[in-house]
Amino acid sequence: MKKEQEIYYTKDVPVPETPEPGTEPEPWGKTRIIGERVPRVDGYERVSGSAVYPSDVMLPGMIHGAILRSPYPHAVVKSVNIEKARNMPGVRAAISMDSPGADLQWPYNKEVSTKLFDPRCLFEGETIAAVAAETPYQAMDAIKAIKVEYDVKPFVVDERKALKSGSVEVHEGGNRLKTATHERGDVEKGFAEADEVVEKTFRTECEIQTPLELHGCVANWDGDRLTVWESTQGVYSVQSKVAQVLKMPLSKVRIIGHYMGGGFGSKLNASKYTIIGALLAKASAKPVKMFLTREDAYIAVGNRPPSNMTVKMGVKKDGTLTAIQLKGNATGGAYPAGGTALIDWLFRDLYTCENVRTEMTDVYINAGPARPFRAPGHPQGSWALEQMMDMLAQKINIDPVQIRLKNIPKVSQAREGNPPYTSTGLEECLRKGAETFGWDRARKEAEANNKKDGHIKRGVGMGGCVWIVGGGGPPSTVVVKYFSDGSVNLNMGASDIGTGTKTVMALVVAEELGVKPSVIQIENADTGTTQYATPSGGSKTVPTEAPTVRNACIDAKQQILKMAAEDLGLDVEDRDAEDLRFEGEKVVSKSDPSKSVKIKEIKKLNKRGLVMGIGYRGPNPENKTVNPFAAQFCEVEVNTRTGEVKVLRFLGAHDSGRVMDRLTYDNQVFGGITMGIGFGMTEWRVLDDGQTGKMLNKNWHDYKLPTALDVPMDMTCVPIELHDHEANNTGAKGLGEPVTIPTAGAIANAVNHATGLRFTDTPINPIFVSRMQDKTRAAEKAGKEALSKEARNKEEG
């Protein structure tokens, strides 16, 4: 006979106190399960293949969609003929700009929109037509049979050239979208007061999200109701966009996204393919699976914008920053897509400085629009700022860690009114990170090694960061159903984007109700059955949803206490009911522990079957700001003969408030560092600037993602666990973004420490290392020749 599953924890830690209705709960003290290393609650489903991702969805009679995209970066479509494609074997539907119902507007933002199938193609990958057929191969064959007449136009795919006089105009009126400026204090005065001033120009290349699961959906109509299984970070944001474009009531659009194979910001909203899939499903009267090819995912669904930054900074001999100036540009592609968004934030907010001026220009080019990408703008800014901090430290002969410690902020300098942080862990990140890494010893050992003859050089580097968000906030709604046997159903709209959101929320329920995660059933990410939630992204999911889940649990406990009071003969409306304590398996009188009732024996609960607790996310603290901080340290080895750079070890010290699940916490840190290594060392979009304007490396073979061979075996996570009780009732802040911000800059500083070479452009790979070494040798040779010539002239004179 099967043994009955255990429901309650027996760990000798009390269940958190239940606050009175309308009052805030006390911060957690010692916890039962929060902060432990707990495997994913859906780990088996993910590794066994039983988890159904949107790309796994198979429906009866389902057919497959494909999209024809512009092969040119700039062209006007003069005509489209889909008749041959329509009549090919297996084809059930074909649509283009001339098809009934396909003349729809596609809003890029509130100000700018284009057409679903726009005759004016401003980037390679713009949608032209689409088909649906019985097999993916038939759909692709049909796409190739569509005849399109193009008027091919000149193009510009480099934002630096796009700003030059006489450049091809992407839009009428020029390529300069907007210039954003920020200024405080007197920058010129700050430079005048500086003992040393450094100025340098930096560039970061475009990075592509390229998640494991491709972008796409399955669309199915049932009468006038549309259901879409979408690989998305936010089902409600997709629902809103689909309903807007198709002019449908929200109640008739259902989006489901229980699992998602990566997004990194590129799946925060609906895409054109979602609408096209729905139109093909309507035209064919069949469910349509519409997933992009890997090549299309490189050019049409987002990127991290390339950037160019000229930075000038001043410092006193004691390490005090006196002035920071940033002037640069970046591009979000052919449409407004936040090309310069947040690149300047670290310059404005990370280190204390009274005199700051930033100016960033967003530029149009003929390339695919950008989308948010893990910590938008911050890695680009960090690449420049963290190298500048090291250069200033070298100028005044101070340790890189010490110059940062000298300029720790206590308030947010970039926000109006300079609100204080609810918690500031940057100093602890720097000190504890350096201590655990063995910073001083590692620097000395590397310098001693580099004095020896040999072509293998070693160096250590570091960088700090703050992430602009990370505090979450409303709106969010969660429902917790507490059944009469003590088991629980957790209902929330948030997507688990692979970071362990479902696991963390289950741990909050387990902590608050005293039950085991194994008896918690989770329903999530379905606009038809779950509660409203904003998209999972920006490191706001845990600090938004976890307090909401806790509030729902508290609401359930308050109802159970009232029920238990009746069974114990207490006046529910009287203060006597407040004498009761919820202890997981039972309710006990605080004043008389002999008075108790087991949860399973509460009469009203058994009669009703369950209690439904509803939680809402409360507001963030007024006049304060919630931000996570971090410092990362690394050691590299450089082969000066081949230019190969090998990362030997990495350490991330992160202040993201309370650690909810140490296992998922560590994984976030290691994953973010891995992505930062890609940004700094291996990844860049290559566009043919001369002949075609096309992307030349739109596949996993030519676009070099970091592999296990590029990532160090020695990776350490050091949580700086400041329980931020002002931020929210769980004390947690965001983690997913800051873990990738300082990585690339830290590597660049380590390479400089090893070689003396300053790499201002990403990526640092053998090609660019060798080029830099050649330039350095040429400069040294030229300098020696000049000195020799000067000496000869003196002798002859």
How sure is the predictor about 9, in pLDDT bands with cuts at 50, 70 and 90? low
Closest CA to 379 of 306, 446, 451: 306
Q: For the residues 98-114, what does the mean pLDDT come to?
A: 88
d(C-alpha 318, C-alpha 585), whole Å:
60
CATH for 472-616, options being 1.10.357.10, 3.30.365.10, 3.40.630.30, 3.40.50.10070: 3.30.365.10
d(C-alpha 760, C-alpha 773), whole Å:
13
- Per-residue burial over 383-407, b = 16 or more CB atoms within 10 Å of its CB, e = otherwise: bbbbbbbbbbbbbeebebbebbbbb
Determine the pLDDT at residue 8. Answer: 76
d(C-alpha 615, C-alpha 611), whole Å:
13
List the 629-639 sheet strands across, edge first. Answer: 456-466, 629-639, 645-655, 714-719
Lowest average pLDDT, out of 429-443, 490-504, 776-790, goes to: 776-790
Determine the pLDDT at residue 783. Answer: 67
d(C-alpha 281, C-alpha 193), whole Å:
67
The mean pLDDT of the chain is 95
Residue 726 tokens read as 């002002």
Q: For the residues 294-306, what does the mean pLDDT come to?
A: 98
d(C-alpha 440, C-alpha 566), whole Å:
65
Asked if the model's pLDDT at residue 2 lies above 60, the reply is no
pTM of the model: 0.95
Three-state DSSP class for 40? coil
Amino acid letter, residue 747: I
d(C-alpha 39, C-alpha 313), whole Å:
46
d(C-alpha 152, C-alpha 158), whole Å:
18
Q: Do the first three CATH levels of 54-154+210-300 and 307-470+624-764 match, i.e. the same topology?
A: yes
Determine the pLDDT at residue 112. Answer: 84
Give every CB contact of residue 125 below 8 A, 6+ residues apart in sequence: 69, 70, 296, 299, 300, 368
Element at 48 (helix H, strand E) = helix 43-48
Lowest average pLDDT, out of 63-72, 487-496, 572-581, 744-753, goes to: 572-581
**54-154+210-300 placed in CATH 3.50.50.60:** no
Determine the pLDDT at residue 786. Answer: 66
DSSP state of 255: E
Asked if the model's pLDDT at residue 792 lies above 70, the reply is no
Q: For the residues 59-82, what does the mean pLDDT come to?
A: 98
Amino acid letter, residue 531: Q
Give every CB contact of residue 624 below 8 A, 6+ residues apart in sequence: 419, 420, 421, 422, 726
Amino acid letter, residue 85: A
Question: Is the distance from CB of 549 to CB of 25 less than 8 angstroms?
Answer: no
Determine the pLDDT at residue 567. Answer: 93
Determine the pLDDT at residue 7. Answer: 81
Three-state DSSP class for 137? helix
Q: For the residues 371-393, what does the mean pLDDT come to?
A: 98
Closest CA to 155 of 167, 166, 173: 167
Place of tokens 């059955």: 529
Q: What is the pLDDT of residues 393-402, one digit of tens each?
A: 999 999 999 9
What would the CATH number be for the domain defined by 307-470+624-764?
A: 3.30.365.10
Q: What is the pLDDT of residues 509-540, one digit of tens each?
A: 999 999 999 999 999 999 999 999 999 999 99
Q: What is the pLDDT of residues 458-516, one digit of tens each?
A: 999 999 999 999 899 999 999 999 999 999 999 999 999 999 999 999 999 999 999 99
Provide the residue ranges of all domains of the chain, joining segments of one domain with +: 54-154+210-300, 307-470+624-764, 472-616
Q: For the residues 595-624, what does the mean pLDDT come to?
A: 96
Determine the pLDDT at residue 778. Answer: 72
Determine the pLDDT at residue 769. Answer: 73
Q: What is the pLDDT of residues 575-594, one digit of tens each?
A: 565 789 999 999 999 988 88
List, by residue number, the catalytic residues. 737
Q: What is the pLDDT of residues 234-272, one digit of tens each?
A: 999 999 999 999 999 999 999 999 999 999 999 999 999
pLDDT > 90 in the chain, percent: 90
Determine the pLDDT at residue 665. Answer: 98
Asked if the model's pLDDT at residue 780 lies above 80, the reply is no
Three-state DSSP class for 206? coil
Q: What is the pLDDT of residues 189-236, one digit of tens each?
A: 999 999 999 999 999 999 999 999 999 999 999 999 999 999 999 999
Element at 81 (helix H, strand E) = strand 75-81
